[in-house]
Amino acid sequence: MNLDFLFAKAMYLGTLSLVLVLLVGSQVSSAQAPGRVISVAFKTNNPAGNSPPMSGPEAAATLANPSFGAANVWNNLHVEWAPPLTTNPAWTNLVDSTGQTTGVSLSITGTVLPVDFWPWLPNPDPLRSGLIAWNSWTNGGGGAGPGESTSIVWKLSGLPPLTKFDICVYGAVTDMDRSFTMTVAGIIMNIPTFNGNTSSPQSCVLFSTIASNAKGIITVRADGVGDSTTAQNEANWSGFQLVQLGTPGTPRRLGFWRAPR
């Protein structure tokens, strides 16, 4: 048999194999991979002043799951200050901790109030001073006018299907305690807020090993606590972080996490 022919065939097959490897590798790298972190902080344009963008790792989340320690770039998501209330805000192509777009989208169903307490609190916080609020002044008695929701539903789409994640949720640093609940995959937990007149604790509430559905969606319900007709029971939410898990082999680490001082 012709040796030149055999050599040429071997070279062709080797090149074809290399192309296939590169194509498969490209598809894998474009999907969200285990350990990839997506971080969200809510921001607005308060005329009196606004908190700076959030970046870098968050201590309480890193304590809850060390994979959150890879956080660098955050999605500082804008919610328009005026008019005061915003209905059904949504954002597409969230970036990961390296700044690479992921194809993941966030949408909120409900009417919310964007707030930034940065100018008015003695202990401002780049993550927890900016927030979205609901369950307040639903009778129209407050400065935002009527129409604020008593509960909201938020959804992450564009995730890998049937894949598990850890999600750390952040309450706010506000002018009074304004907690609320979140329900994720049937798990209900309280998200605390912290009075801005005290030192701001770095904390988060961890929902562990939460699975996306067959369409790559995670849906969460957030409910205000108590009477919605005054500001007393307003719900204040500052953001969250999401990290894709590898093969989960440890028990759930659900609940409230606070970084050591």
φ/ψ of residue 63, rounded to 5: -70, -40
Q: Name the 3-class secondary structure at 169.
A: strand
From residue 172, alpha-carbon distances to 78, 125, 179 in Å are 16, 9, 9
Contact 146, 140 (CB under 8 A): yes
Residue 11: what pLDDT? 45
Walk along the chain (261 residues) and give the pLDDT tens digit of each residue.
Answer: 454 544 444 444 444 333 333 333 333 333 457 889 999 999 999 888 899 999 999 999 999 999 999 999 999 999 998 778 999 999 999 999 999 999 999 999 999 999 999 888 877 789 999 999 999 988 887 778 788 999 999 999 999 999 999 999 999 988 888 999 999 999 999 999 988 766 667 899 999 999 999 999 999 999 999 999 888 899 999 999 999 998 655 666 889 988 887
Q: In the beta sheet, which residues pair with residue 219? A: 155
Question: CB within 8 A of 117, min separation 6: which ones?
Answer: 124, 129, 130, 131, 172, 173, 174, 175, 196
Contact 110, 219 (CB under 8 A): no
Q: Name the 3-class secondary structure at 128.
A: coil
Q: Name the 3-class secondary structure at 66.
A: helix
The pTM score is: 0.86
What value, to the nearest 5°, has the Cα angle with vertex 197 and ends 122 and 222?
Answer: 105
Contact 122, 139 (CB under 8 A): no
Nearest to 108 by CA among 59, 42, 174, 179: 42
Whole-angstrom distance between the N-terminal and C-terminal Cα of the chain? 76
The helix or strand, by DSSP H or E, that contains position 64, with its residue range, turns out to be helix 59-64
CA Rg value for the chain: 22
Contact 111, 147 (CB under 8 A): yes
Residue 120: what pLDDT? 86
- Pair type for strands 173-174 and 194-195: parallel
